[in-house]
Structure 1
């Protein structure tokens, strides 16, 4: 408990705190807020999320802590302001500082502002003043529940691709690594070519671009698979990355089928790509047809088994999930 405030002879005996008492009160408040920040840090650590301590930015940049996360390939930044209590006064003060910081700068370095207190007292004003979706106030229990949401859904894959990733993670990573090695070898060969004609140089440039794009998409899938395994990426992000790669492979086949059929190296890359998609339950009629064309030297119409496969996959397409594993 703070000491009694000194009595002065002024103002008819009113009580006024002296400077040393004010300093002790401020130090006490800072200590309590530091303890709250520590508890917040423990909650984020349990949720496997990283926090950064922010320097004092005053009203121009309120907040004590920062955490970042990636949503749909874009980084989002969340400022956390630590207080002892969530009450009308703290919410009003925090929202005013939040609005002041928005008015001061046209470009913001955060997407949401969270006021977090050890507890909520009484019946504070609305926790989202003016229904501002960038501002929220919550106590430690509410924060714990919020951070626990991803953990409760861990392992609950619902799409064909998500389930395949959970079941075949090691095999998928091996397939990706092997395919990247094939692409690197192809890029190295292209880098060694020195065509004299404009057409030749344009061909090398286009092929290099195709393989570099394919490699980047594979690295993205590998990154999302690893993050999904650790519950740091959503199932939707894995599905999106896989679909993007599949679309690129199919477009490559559509535009360059003649070259792919007559090139051993390109044909091998195509077959390995479709093999990876099959492992991830993301193959399609177009993809299977492309592989059959390569394996059979382009004689698609003569291969009865291809027609059978297409019919089978067509039936599966009708019952496929929303993840588009078969189209």
Structure 2
């Protein structure tokens, strides 16, 4: 057992070192190719663009660790944003109550996915695909299929306040730290890892894994609602088409961070670095004039490379 923990610890250190090394190399490359990349303006823009992706990637890390997946997060984010805008614009609610409603809507969507998937033992891939469609349709219904402009009532959340960093960015950092502590320092976090590693062993040890698995999806929905708040504050509007394809970005960031698609292993800190890699890659490619189709090709290659590396890591751990 100590040998197993030592091997896993060494693997984690190698993963962190590899991710940080890749991030540094990318920054150096784009700084060389574009004189405007390594500037305070670019770094500030990056910092204030990623909070939505960061908090949703934290939730997806937990889901992948327990061996699940949630494809509905982009649509759930759009639905939460739609309810937030409806409450503040049409109903005249204060922003904090509208934001709370958005969070609750996101959590409810996560609960539906979790309870159906866990209760009926249906793959979360299929259930979340259905919730993706339902949430998107509900977002269109709530907003009458048009963008709701909220105005400056919420823009302070994404406005830089300290060294170019916004409250949204600082909140995303806090969520990352708390998420890592929950995963590594609490009984719940150990249960999630145990479920992803061998759910039957967890059950035979006298622990019911179902509540812990449902909770993961609820947290994912809640963090999607928080991501919706960040996005609305940045755009000053709620778009029912917002978040299309967001699930792919979220999963990509988590996989690049080294979280196993097979469950049982992952790190919230590594996911955060994965988000930075995705964001730096997209920003850098845009600054050097790479076309949108080519950006998608390069990003896809990076994701495939991350999955291949994960496969080799798993083989090394079993050896």
Q: What's the TM-score, normalizing by structure 1?
A: 0.23
Bigger relative contact order, structure 1 or 2 (CA pairs below 8 A, ≥6 apart):
2
Q: What's the TM-score, normalizing by structure 2?
A: 0.23
Q: Which has the larger radius of gyration?
A: 1
Select the structure that is richer in strand.
Answer: 1
Select the structure that is richer in helix.
Answer: 2
